[in-house]
Amino acid sequence: MIHPKFKKIAAGLLAVSLLLSNSICAKADDRADRIAEHQAMPIQSNEIAGWPAGPVVSAESAILIEADSGTILYSKNIHQHEYPASTTKILTALLAYENSSMNETVTFSHDDVFKTPRNSNHIAMNPGDSLTMEQCLNALLIRSANEVAYAIAAHVGGSWDKFAEMMNDRARELGAVDSNFVNPNGLPDENHVTSAYDLAMIGRAFFSCETLCKITMTPKLIIPKKKEDLIEWNQMALIPTGKYAYEYLVGCKTGYTDSAHSALVSCAEKNGLRLICVVLNDENPEHNEDTIALFEYGFGNFEKINVSQKETKYDIDHIGFFYNNTDIFGTGQPILSLNKEDCVILPKSASFSDLKSDITYDGLEAGQAALITYTFHNVPVGTVSVNLASHDQNYTFEREEPSASPDAQDNSKLQKTKEEKKAPSFIFISPVLIKSILAVLAAGAVLFAIFCYLRRNFQFSFGGVLRSSRFNSAHRQSSLRNPRHDHRAQIREAKRRARRRSSRKFNRKG
């Protein structure tokens, strides 16, 4: 016979287990509903004519871009406000790297430690403890330690609030348009928001830093402690030791809170094509699967095209000026040339001739004469700069000297050298220069016409009197008809009269 006391305990345990079971089932149902809802959302990039259809993902917001050009390959609610959770830390790490040295000492304050929720990620630092900035960045990106983020913010910005201002300023500089950062770690705050687009723009700067990328790929974190070193393993699943290891991964940063759900910002590179992927308000492990699917979509459907190798002709403002092999001064060298490194990103099913281009003269950097923006069905796919010849360091025009020992020549290396020294196959004549020349020529033609008209119809006296050439012509005709008005005729007439008078006098004397 069971004692009544044990019956009560058993009943209590059964009630708790039922509550937990119901809670788990409710959460599972909510999770399934969110995934279904997110998967049903439209993918904006799929609406572009001729654009490869992208995969269905469980994230509410997702973006895939090419890192160098910023070309958007996949877009789903990319400007929707989302909670970034710990993906915030890529901006914190970037600011720390840009504004401090790796051997600086960062000391933890009371607020850094005790205002960090104990149920959040941390490395158990105490007030007064110190780490180098390098150790802080490792703890921030590998363990996602929140008290470390606070300590970095105070060290770099002077205070958390000033560091938040730095975060927002730097985000705008990098092209962010939707974000408002209020803390350095992404802990829940209704005013701390971003978007997939903004994190991709920030990611372009973050993943361009080899040091920060290597930290995110490090499998183990070791923090020296007085009693015993702290050892933490990198839990991000995309790194080489992770469950979803992705062979082309360059770097990544995960994030999670109850309100943000799962978030992941990552970068991968294959065959010279570097892609950045952001998924927000996703689930676990779907955020890893979605990221891999998007990377495979990008690598499988797009290619990088060097513009200088494809562009052969450019119609400037539709006035018929084209590229050619000789510049307008006949030197045989380019006045301007396309940047040899600039590329566009194209669907593999499209060709370079499918692109439309537009030339602008705004926002130029030193040595640039113009910018040409290429679009595919109104989608920007890249920009190439038109550089002044004096600033183009990629071209030389020296004659190649033959090798002293023909037997020692490496044909492949020789061919590569020739290609590097080869001048660009075309030049670009700026419409500003063309229009200026045409204006000068037109003005000169008008002045010449006026001069010819005046020269034909008028003559100028040294006394400043302007006489009509028609008047002068009539005067000459009149002189021919009336000898008295002609000076030479008057002289001849005077001589005849003198001879007559002389003849009369001679006759009288005779």
Catalytic residue positions, numbered: 86, 89, 144
SS3 144: coil
The CA dihedral of 161, 167, 170, 174, to the nearest 10 degrees, is -160
Residues in Cβ contact with 467 at an 8 Å cutoff, skipping those fewer than 6 apart: 458, 459, 461
Q: Which of 348, 366, 243 is nearest to 303 (CA)?
A: 348
Q: What tokens appear for 95 in the block? A: 């600011």
Instruction: Please calculate the CA angle 121-126-128 and round it to the nearest 5 degrees.
Output: 135
Helices (H), 356-486: 411-421, 431-457, 469-481
**How many CA within 13 A on the CB side of residue 353?**
0
Determine the straight-line distance between the first and last CA of the chain, rounded to whole angstroms. 197
> Scanning the structure block, which residue is given the tokens 């082309």?
248
The length of the chain in residues reads 510
Could you list the beta-strand ranges (E) of 247-296: 249-257, 261-270, 273-282
Q: How far apart are CA 509 and CA 503, in angstroms?
A: 10
Q: How far apart are CA 142 and CA 138, in angstroms?
A: 6
Strand partners, 257: 261
Beta-sheet strand order (sheet of 273-282): 72-76, 61-66, 273-282, 261-270, 249-257
Phi/psi at 216 (5° precision): -65, -25
